[in-house]
Amino acid sequence: MNEQQPWPWPAGSATGVGSMPGDDIAEAQRVVFGELPDLPHLAELPDRGPGADIIGRTSAFLVDLPVELYVGTWRIAARPGRDLRRAADFLDRDLDQLTEQGDGFTGVVKVQAAGPYTLAANVDLPVGGRLLRDPGAVRDLITSLTEGLRTHVDDVRRRLPGATVLLQVDEPALPTVLAGHVPTESGFSAYRAVETNTAADALRALVSGVGAPVTFHCCAADVPISLFVSAGASALSLDLSLVGSLDPLGEAIDAGVGLLAGVAPTSGARAPGHKDLVDRVRGVWNQLGFSADLLRRQVVVTPTCGLAGASATYAKDVLAACRDAGRRLVEE
């Protein structure tokens, strides 16, 4: 990065959020590299089942903190078992395809993982109850995840030595965690809210420890934009239709934070045209009042969230529409 181009991606880029439909990683990764040549991402295929889902997949990164499936829920385990081996195997296959199809790639590649608070709200302690109920366990989780993601980033750099790695940390559960709305097992109460400063400090430690620029993704309502900026986000990945007040977003952009602008629907009978996506991006950008030149460089066009629920045809077409929208932003 430099003063002329402080964001790692080229102007007019587009990318996906993470998940793709189906269970064929070779085909999914071919589509990603084919439709998103400026900012491809490591495809995730949750249709393959446990271990390929966002929680199981990220558990494969944890260091000295094994997990297992118990009655359909991930929980901390005494030792690594078959569930964790399956998650690690899925990840290895996916990385092998990234290596094969990204051979010689010298641009920016994005990889994704669940954030610590989304994990803490979805993984159980051995004795029952979410990790979220034990602040000490959450601190251990953050340390473990940070170390594992740093190793993951280093691995991707070795596989694609000419590429720049961008790490996306998915925190869809963070608004619920901050609001104190994560239900306990009984459903009659909720876990105590995590203080904003506590979460910001934890995420800041993760950002400083992973050794790569970090974009935070959250496609829920009440996205804690200011918290992510305080934690050191290089970029934010948001569903623009869910952003209520534009003031925090404007402050983030003014501070130099990149925007992965989620504007393309994740499913449908037919993918939107790229002109529609351009209009949606520009509509928000014009409300914010920033220059068109900054839009071309600071914004990446994306779907609103993952594409696991889409058809294969729709997923390919919507990524192509995002790509063409990004290029149109540069040309006009």
Over the stretch 290-322, which tens digit does the pLDDT of each residue have? 999 999 999 999 999 999 999 999 999 999 999
106: which 2 tokens? 């010298």
User: What's residue 244's pLDDT?
Assistant: 86
72: which 2 tokens? 């359909």
Q: Rounded distance, CA 210 to CA 148, Å?
A: 8
205: which 2 tokens? 């430690």
Task: Please report which confidence band the pLDDT of residue 188 belongs to, taking 50, 70 and 90 as the band edges.
Answer: confident
Task: Please report which confidence band the pLDDT of residue 236 belongs to, taking 50, 70 and 90 as the band edges.
Answer: very high
Q: In 60-111, which residue ranges form alpha helices assigned H by DSSP?
A: 82-101
Q: Rounded distance, CA 59 to CA 48, Å?
A: 16
Residue 194 CA: distances (Å) to CA of 125, 179, 180, 213, 288:
18, 8, 7, 25, 30
3-state percent helix, strand, coil for the chain, nearest multiple of 5: 45, 15, 40
Specify the 3-state DSSP secondary structure of 292.
helix
301 membership: H or E segment, kind and range: strand 299-303
For residues 186-199, give the mean pLDDT.
92
pLDDT exceeds cutoff 70 at 19: yes
Q: What percent of the chain has pLDDT over 70?
A: 98
For residues 27-56, give the mean pLDDT.
97
Q: Which amino acid, 85?
A: R
pLDDT digits (tens, 9 = 90+) for 68-107: 999 889 999 999 999 999 999 999 999 999 999 999 999 9
Q: Rounded distance, CA 322 to CA 300, Å?
A: 9
Mean pLDDT, rounded, of the chain = 95
CA atoms within 13 A on the CB side of 2: 2
User: What's residue 5's pLDDT?
Assistant: 56
Q: How crowded is residue 271: how many other Cβ atoms within 10 Å of its Cβ?
A: 24
User: What's residue 187's pLDDT?
Assistant: 77
Specify the 3-state DSSP secondary structure of 32.
helix
Local structure of residue 85 (DSSP, 8 states): H
Nearest to 268 by CA among 217, 220, 219, 303: 303
User: What's residue 247's pLDDT?
Assistant: 95
User: What's residue 2's pLDDT?
Assistant: 36
